[in-house]
Amino acid sequence: MTDEKNITIAAGGPYIVTGNVAIRSKSAIMSELGEPLGWKTEPAAETKARVALCRCGASAKKPYCDGAHARTEWDGTENAPPRQLPGTGQEPGR
């Protein structure tokens, strides 16, 4: 077993995270009036050598993949639009 941390994308499937990475989620802190006040970081789940994180949005066990991507219509080749660095018109890392 290795502790080298790595994220790979499974074709048509989840992100595969290896290396005992702590997976933490955040939940919104809301006021009594329903206004967002900030974020609360939840305690880390037990770390594992390998976890699969949902990339399709259909998992019933988010953030983990439960195999629903195989029964869901989604485009696993879709990429996030490149961001531009404010005021430069340049994309980061390019």
Summarize as ranges the residues that interact with ligand FES (CB under 6 A).
13-14, 54-56, 58-59, 65-69
Nearest-approach distance from CB 23 to ligand FES, in angstroms = 15
Nearest-approach distance from CB 59 to ligand FES, in angstroms = 4
| CA 15 vs CA 19, 62, 86: distances in Å | 13, 12, 29
Instruction: Please give the single-letter amino acid code of residue 62.
Output: K
Buried b (16+ CB within 10 A) or exposed e, 36-45: eeeeeeeeee
20 or 64, CB closer to ligand FES? 64
Nearest-approach distance from CB 92 to ligand FES, in angstroms = 26
**How many other CB atoms are there within 10 angstroms of residue 55's CB atom?**
20
57 or 82, CB closer to ligand FES? 57
